[in-house]
Amino acid sequence: MDSDISQQMQLDSSEVRDMMAQAMNEAIRALPKPKLPSWVEAAADFAKFHPWVSLFLLLGVIVLISAVIREVLCSYFKTNDILARLKKVEDELRKQRPV
């Protein structure tokens, strides 16, 4: 008799779990979808139909951004290096000719 009750409880719990999952799925489907800008939808469609081209475009953009960041950093450090050298030259000139 106890096995019948436990089996019935297991069936009930699986039914409740299935009904909860179904209710959650229906609630998720009923939620309004977020409105995406048209350019995002166009990019998604392009990526869907041309995955390799979009991959190469994405890699190109990443390389371009990396190159810009590298140039900015290198020019910053190069400027600091030039300023440090000018400071040394200025100090040497001051030692030679006291003002």
Of 33-37, 49-53, 72-76, 83-87, where does the model show the most confidence? 49-53
Tell me the pLDDT band of 4, cut-offs 50, 70 and 90. low
Residue length of the chain: 99
pLDDT (average), residues 11-15: 73
Q: Could you give the CA distance from residue 97 to residue 99 in angstroms, rounded to a whole number? A: 6
For residue 99, is pLDDT > 70?
no
Amino acid (one-letter) located at 19: M
- Domain boundaries, given as residue ranges, for the chain: 1-31, 35-99
Average pLDDT value for the chain:
85
